Chains A and B, each alone.
Chain A
Amino acid sequence: GQSLEQPSEVTAVEGAIVQINCTYQTSGFYGLSWYQQHDGGAPTFLSYNGLDGLEETGRFSSFLSRSDSYGYLLLQELQMKDSASYFCAVRRGKLIFGQGTTLQVKP
């Protein structure tokens, strides 16, 4: 079977760095993706890790360790507009999403 676990909520202040963790149990594996969703909006693709290591895209980075069944999304220089839900997802034929982490950025 497949399951992903993420913290339900994270709070941080503007300018800070926050890390959102994702652990998974899945039989078979085709990479870990991250999506952002603002309230009332659509999920938006952020990043994909097909191999172990760190992928950086501007202020956002994503990390994967397949041996530890673990990944994270790192958001740096937090801005108010980063307040959103963040979903990790693994692909095993289909894309399976975690329950999402609601990030609240405070002034």
Chain B
Amino acid sequence: DTAVSQTPKYLVTQMGNDKSIKCEQNLGHDTMYWYKQDSKKFLKIMFSYNNKELIINETVPNRFSPKSPDKAHLNLHINSLELGDSAVYFCASSPPGLENEQYFGPGTRLTVT
């Protein structure tokens, strides 16, 4: 199946831990994104990469570090997890020149206890 995939789907961890979320797309897109969706469903961009290069870096704590080993993968590492990091994290990608048309992964529900 051609799609955007993320692992894990659920992540429950304790405060202070470090965790990673992986994302892969096989759509051949050049641009990938990380979004955070809070409990009120507000969807906000965190990072964007184009062909492995960081192009958008929103006001996100530096505990969050994205890494793009190649244009099909964009991972998110989070250090020293806090309660407020609990949210659903979505990876997305878009075709060249069509940034309005984004394809989202299934999401990773992160719960920090």
Contacts and interface: CB of A to CB of B under 8 A. Distances in A.
A85 interface: yes
B41 A48 contact: no
A94 interface: yes
Contacts of A33: 100-101
A99 B42 contact: yes
Contact count band on B = 20 to 34
B9 to A, nearest CB: 10
Contacts of B49: none
A33 B101 CA distance: 8
A99 B40 contact: yes
Contact of A97 (B44, B48, B99, B106): B44
Contacts of A100: 41-43
